[in-house]
Structure 1
Amino acid sequence: MVRLFVALPLPLAQRRILALAAGGVPGARWTPLENYHVTLRFIGEVDERRADDIVSALDTVHADAFTLGIGGVGTFDSRRDARLLYARVLPVPALLDLEGRIGAALARVPGLDLEPRRFVPHVTLARLRQVDMGRLGAFIEGNGLLATPDWRVDHFALYSSDTGGDHSVYTLEERFDLDDDAGGDDHDGWADDGGED
């Protein structure tokens, strides 16, 4: 069995900016720089045969490349009940379209049961447990203008996740390229982005 999710990786420059903001909230478990990403679809645990079907389905997704940016931070719940601190990804139409196309492709995979979740594009900065509310509030107010330069999104990826240890370890399993005419088969198979793009 393998635990899978579909995501957009962040370029190194954007990851460094987010990593510089991390800290100052006791009780926060900060996401390592190498784990920053924008989840498009969480899939969960599947067997190898179904994983192959997922790759085939994602290979049918065609969309244009686009630009994306990050602006601000927040939590999903009230600060008192917050369990996740995130950087807000600006939800441009092309991103929402890509997420919808991926969801439609995965819905065609036999036996795949996806959780229905509202798509809120974000990058997880920290998981929260018994944090100091005053420090959390100060972090959110102090980083309200946190932003990264826009970057060009030219691919999405399928990752596996090993949740053992202090932090999850994500492994790139497959890369799917986007293009400017959305008309050709631009998937180039297995890829190693070296974690540097």
Structure 2
Amino acid sequence: MVRTFISIDLPDNIKDNLYEIEENINIDGIKLVKRDNLHITLKFIGEVSQIKIDEIIQNLFNICFKPFKLKIESLGAFPTKKNARIVWIGAKGDDIFPLVDSIETELKRLKFKTDERFHPHITIARVKKQNKDIKDRIKKFLDDNHNIEIGSVLVDNFRLKKSTLTGKGPIYETIKEFKME
């Protein structure tokens, strides 16, 4: 079984800018996402067999889109700023939603569950410890940097990726790239 997801990879300049933001977090109890693992998740699929991966690839080839731009800006947290478990930066642009809808449609044909909510974002940190001091420091960091602007990304492809969990964090590998036209 292979742990899989569909994502948009980020160009190096955006990863560099995001990494600078991460370095400023500097709060105990927070695990930063490694620079090379920064991405926009379009759909988490989960554990699937190689046969199912082949079916997913076939269905994803049905998706056609023109390239579009996303603005990378605005810090936030899930589930809330006061009780952050995930610290993220937004990926804004309406053109991402038809792409996600098409991915959901193609995967639904293979009997995958549809995600009800999609919030385009890049996870930059995960909160591993919870106490009042950590919560307050995270909220202050988010409030102080809420309106941050990182830049724009031209999206002309998406990828089916494999995630291997290790003691040092996940390792992501591209299974297949799908170019937009």
Contact 2:73-2:151 within 8 A present in 1 as well: no
Runs of 5+ unmatched residues, structure 2 = none
Identical aligned residues as a percent: 28
Contact 1:25-1:139 within 8 A present in 2 as well: no
**In 1, Cα distance between the equivalents of 2:138 and 2:122?**
17
Q: Following TM superposition, by how much is the alpha carbon of 1:147 offset from its aligned partner in structure 2, in angstroms?
A: 1.5
Q: Deviations over 1:17-58 (max 9, x none)?
A: 010011322211000000011111111111110110000010
Aligned to 2:7: 7
Structure 1 residues 150 and 18, CA, compared in 2 at 3 Å: closer, same or farther?
A: same
Contact 2:70-2:155 within 8 A present in 1 as well: yes
Aligned to 2:83: 81
Contact 2:83-2:135 within 8 A present in 1 as well: no
Aligned to 2:96: 95
Q: Following TM superposition, by how much is the alpha carbon of 1:12 offset from its aligned partner in structure 2, in angstroms?
A: 0.7
Q: Following TM superposition, by how much is the alpha carbon of 1:129 offset from its aligned partner in structure 2, in angstroms?
A: 2.2
- Please give the root-mean-square deviation of Cα atoms over the aligned residues, in Å: 1.3
Aligned to 2:120: 121
Q: Deviations over 1:164-189 (max 9, x none)?
A: 2231110011000012xxxxxxxxxx
Q: Following TM superposition, by how much is the alpha carbon of 1:133 offset from its aligned partner in structure 2, in angstroms?
A: 1.8
Q: Following TM superposition, by how much is the alpha carbon of 1:115 offset from its aligned partner in structure 2, in angstroms?
A: 5.2
**In 2, Cα distance between the equivalents of 1:34 and 1:148?**
17
Equivalent position SS for 1:81? coil
The amino acid of 2:85's aligned partner reads R
TM-score (norm 2): 0.92
Aligned to 2:144: 142
Counting matched residue pairs gives 176
The amino acid of 1:100's aligned partner reads D
**In 1, Cα distance between the equivalents of 2:124 and 2:144?**
15
Structure with bigger strand share is 2
The amino acid of 1:96's aligned partner reads F
TM-score (norm 1): 0.85
Mapping for residues 141-180 of structure 1, pairs under 5 Å: 141-179=143-181
Aligned to 2:16: 16
The amino acid of 1:129's aligned partner reads K
Q: After TM superposition, which residue ranges in structure 1, 4 or more long, deviate above 3 angstroms?
A: none
Aligned to 1:189: none
